Amino acid sequence: MRESPDFSGRLALVTGGASGIGRATCLLLARRGARVGIVDVDREGGEAAASEIAAESGAAVFLAADVSRTEACERVVEEVERELGSIDVLVNAAGVIHRGSVLETSDEDWERLMAVNVGAAFRMARVVLPGMIGRGRGAIVNVASGWGLVGGPRAAAYCASKGAVVQLTRALAIDHGPDGVRVTCVCPGDIDTPMLRQEARELGEDEVAFLAEAANRPLGRVGHPEEVAEAIAWLAGDAASFVTGTCLVVDGGGLA
C-alpha cells in the first residue's frame, strides 16, 4: 500500500541504497511518491530494491557505481537524470566501517573510509548542486553517525570520517542556503543493519551478545533502518522547509 505522496513528482538519488539505511530510505521515499535512483556497488541488492519498488508500482532505476570516484558520480547523475528527470533530493547513505584504534588502522583502511564516508558525499554534492542551484531548490541529507559527534572505542578512522561528514554538512548548508538548497544530516546510533553485524565479526565478538550490548540505551534496543529512513524523509521533505545545517540524532537516547 502506497503512503501519502509527500514526494510526488520528485526524484531522489540515494547512494548506498542496496542495504540497511539506504535501502529503507529508497523504499520509503518511493512509497511516498518519489522516483528513486538507487546507487551501490552491490548489484544484486540494488536490483532487488529497484524490483521491490517496481512491484509496488513505483519508479526506480539501479546504477552500479563506486561513488568514491568522481567519474562514477558524474556518470550516475547523468544516467539517472536521463532516465528519471532532475534530482530534487540527494541522500548520501553509502558508508563503510573499520573497527580499530590508530595503531590497528592501516593507511589502506584510513583511505578507504575517508574515500567512501566523506569523499563520496563531497563528490556527489559537487555534481548534484549545480542543477539544484539552477532550479533554486533542493535537499541533501547526509548519513553521519553518533560517533561523528562523540568518540568511540577502536573506531578512530570511522569517527574521524563521520565527524567530517557533520562538518561538511554544516559548511554546505552555509554556502548553499542562499541558493535554496537545504543540507542536513542524520546521526544514527546502533541500527540493526548488515554493517552492525559486520562490526561484531570484525571485533571477534558473538553477534547476539554484541547486539545485546548495543541495546544498552534509554529505549532499551537497537534501532531499525526504517526508523532512520523516517528521519531522512522528514529532513528531505517540505515539513522541514526551515531546517538546514542541522544534525538529527536518531539513537534511542544513546548520546543522552
- The percent of the chain in helix, strand and coil, each rounded to the nearest 5, is 50, 15, 30
Q: What are phi and psi of 86, to 5 degrees?
A: -75, 145
Contact present, 65 and 41 (Cβ < 8 Å): yes
CA atoms lying within 13 Å on the CB side of residue 235: 31
The residue behind cell 559537487 is 126
Query: In whole angstroms, how far apart are CA 44 and each of 38, 40, 50, 94?
Result: 12, 10, 10, 16
| Cβ neighbours of residue 180 closer than 8 Å, sequence gap 6 or more | 132, 133, 135, 136, 137, 138
Contact present, 7 and 229 (Cβ < 8 Å): no
Buried/exposed 227-253: b ≥16 CB within 10 Å, e otherwise: ebbbbbbbbbbeebeeebeebbbbbbe
Catalytic residue, chosen from 7, 122, 147, 158, is: 158
In the residue annotation, 94 being an active-site residue is answered as no
Q: List the catalytic residues.
A: 158
